[in-house]
Structure 1
């Protein structure tokens, strides 16, 4: 099917904006600030208002610094009863993104899945290149597990997820947690994940798939994040990991008109062959990032509801 017609006005605005974007000769901080202003506007305009939750910002010590995380706690039917916990990693090509850009999504997921969501603001490339963001996300997961009681979380029911580059970091963190013997995870949710940083999957090289995220966009993001000789490392490209057994159940959401579509499909197939329960859902007519557009797309609301249902099943709530 074609791209969803509801997306046409947005795609036209994005196409027009591209003509005025600064090139790589502009300092990263300046480009980031400009793009973040656009991301702020988009976050406010494309999603339905979030439900009421309790937000709290926290500081997590990491090697060489401190990162911010934000917890989202829904109202509890039984006060004092711990809830499952979900660690969320935002997208942004490894060099963009803040906690605010996924604030609505995280609040909505906390209520829908009946869990405490903890959103991670990992340090950004190119100032902090691979593997620093992976280690930041693992440190955040370990912090959540270590502070579960204070956060009102049941530490035996933890999951992780993210979108785009955040899904890459979430998948890598799940691998790292397995390799280090914990924290234990019951599920991972990977939305439009980048899982092969060698750009070797067919859809990455299909001209017809480059809607919102193009091959050139991805190449530029990768140049900021990861040296070419590191891109086959399993924590950079989870799809290329030799062993995937022992990972948590996975829900992988892909979009029909997304160059990362085949990354997700191939990872689901490899997880299944390794004995890991994995479901891959490709959303017809969707483009990269349209999962958050709940004010515009009924199917985006269904997408997010499926994520919540999957987590509830793994949490056994």
Structure 2
């Protein structure tokens, strides 16, 4: 199919990595190979205006599970307790790591003045649901418990992520609400992966879109669920009650199979009385923000930072 992709993004299409989740060994080998990465599109690198200290820690994992690796980003030049932000990387629940979100986490810490805790959660298919989500919950609990040590104001802890990270963030908000867990003041759901049923118009139509498409979505959910039926914490779109959740900012891309499930979820949050902003970016596709020079990418990125700043009351 042909798509009316933003003219500034079109020249970059051939340079973007081809992602297929059909064979996990192939995609993971490609991600781990420096030569292969050098030939493809490079992840953005953010240079902070002021120093941001970075420290890796192993924190207690869920009961009976291994410790969870986190990376803590602390901005300099800020006095008093700071807002906190638990960042959850994307990757279809099956790929991705802390390095993938290094630039994003550094930028949030620097531009917002927040302490960012980035989570290296377990990946499917080796660790199907609920392993990754429980790791994220453990990181949220740890961040809250260690708020004073981390210089975080416990009343201003938000969560967020992009793609599968957005889906896990939505699930984490539901889980924290239903367990009576740590208070979350804001959730950023960036192009979120929310619905295993794969029935929306965008999901059925976009079978060959750049970076992410229906075939990848099918494999993603198969690996993540591992043969289990999905509940609302696996696929937040299945949740019947969205009331009492933290304020949200949701963004979606026009030519993304995940577009409609993100829009529907945002509308349902609004209907449930949750303060929610929704932004649809025309001409974009899943992962098009990697092309940082494009005006639409700058708008999308700028609005994300602004939304997180306001959500954290920074």
TM-score between both structures, scaled by the size of structure 1: 0.89
Tell me, in whole angstroms, the C-alpha distance in 2 between the residues paired with 1:41 and 1:111. 27
Residue 69 of structure 1 aligns with which residue? 70
Cα distance per residue 1:226-262 (max 9 Å; x no partner): 145422x000111110111000000001111111000
Residue 283 of structure 1 aligns with which residue? 281
Tell me if the contact between 1:209 and 1:258 (Cα under 8 Å) persists in the aligned partners.
Answer: no
Tell me if the contact between 2:81 and 2:152 (Cα under 8 Å) persists in the aligned partners.
Answer: yes
Residue 167 of structure 1 aligns with which residue? 166
The alpha-carbon distance between structure 1 residues 247 and 22, as it changes in their structure 2 partners (threshold 3 A), is closer
Tell me if the contact between 1:204 and 1:260 (Cα under 8 Å) persists in the aligned partners.
Answer: yes
Tell me, in whole angstroms, the C-alpha distance in 1 between the residues paired with 2:85 and 2:21. 36
Helix, strand or coil at the partner of 1:120: strand
Residue 13 of structure 1 aligns with which residue? 15
Tell me, in whole angstroms, the C-alpha distance in 2 between the residues paired with 1:245 and 1:58. 34
Helix, strand or coil at the partner of 1:5: coil
1:199 Cα deviation (Å)? 1.0
Which sections of structure 1, spanning at least 5 residues, go unmatched?
A: none
Moved more, 39-48 or 180-189: 39-48
Helix, strand or coil at the partner of 2:8: helix
Helix, strand or coil at the partner of 2:67: strand
Tell me if the contact between 1:175 and 1:235 (Cα under 8 Å) persists in the aligned partners.
Answer: yes
Residue 2 of structure 1 aligns with which residue? 4
Which sections of structure 2, spanning at least 5 residues, go unmatched?
A: none
Residue 312 of structure 2 aligns with which residue? 315
Equivalent of 2:294 in 294, 297, 300: 297
Helix, strand or coil at the partner of 2:249: strand
Moved more, 207-216 or 265-274: 207-216
Tell me, in whole angstroms, the C-alpha distance in 1 between the residues paired with 2:264 and 2:228. 22
Tell me, in whole angstroms, the C-alpha distance in 2 between the residues paired with 1:117 and 1:131. 23
1:40 Cα deviation (Å)? 5.5
Tell me, in whole angstroms, the C-alpha distance in 1 between the residues paired with 2:21 and 2:186. 39
Residue 141 of structure 1 aligns with which residue? 140
Tell me, in whole angstroms, the C-alpha distance in 2 between the residues paired with 1:22 and 1:219. 9
1:85 Cα deviation (Å)? 0.3
1:93 Cα deviation (Å)? 0.9
| Residue correspondence of structure 1 range 262-277 to structure 2 within 5 A | 262-277=260-275
1:109 Cα deviation (Å)? 1.4
Cα distance per residue 1:23-75 (max 9 Å; x no partner): 53xxx456413234479659983525331411111112213101211111112
Tell me, in whole angstroms, the C-alpha distance in 1 between the residues paired with 2:21 and 2:43. 24
The alpha-carbon distance between structure 1 residues 208 and 92, as it changes in their structure 2 partners (threshold 3 A), is closer
Moved more, 145-154 or 49-58: 49-58
1:2 Cα deviation (Å)? 2.0
1:303 Cα deviation (Å)? 1.8
Quick check: which one's helix share is greater?
A: 1
Tell me, in whole angstroms, the C-alpha distance in 1 between the residues paired with 2:233 and 2:304. 24
The alpha-carbon distance between structure 1 residues 23 and 213, as it changes in their structure 2 partners (threshold 3 A), is closer
Tell me, in whole angstroms, the C-alpha distance in 2 between the residues paired with 1:256 and 1:308. 20
| Residue correspondence of structure 1 range 1-317 to structure 2 within 5 A | 2-14=4-16, 17=18, 24=23, 28-29=24-25, 31-37=27-33, 41=38, 45-51=42-48, 52-63=51-62, 64-78=65-79, 81-207=80-206, 210-227=209-226, 229-231=228-230, 233-294=231-292, 296-317=293-314
Tell me, in whole angstroms, the C-alpha distance in 2 between the residues paired with 1:171 and 1:181. 16
Tell me, in whole angstroms, the C-alpha distance in 1 between the residues paired with 2:208 and 2:256. 5
Tell me, in whole angstroms, the C-alpha distance in 1 between the residues paired with 2:101 and 2:93. 15
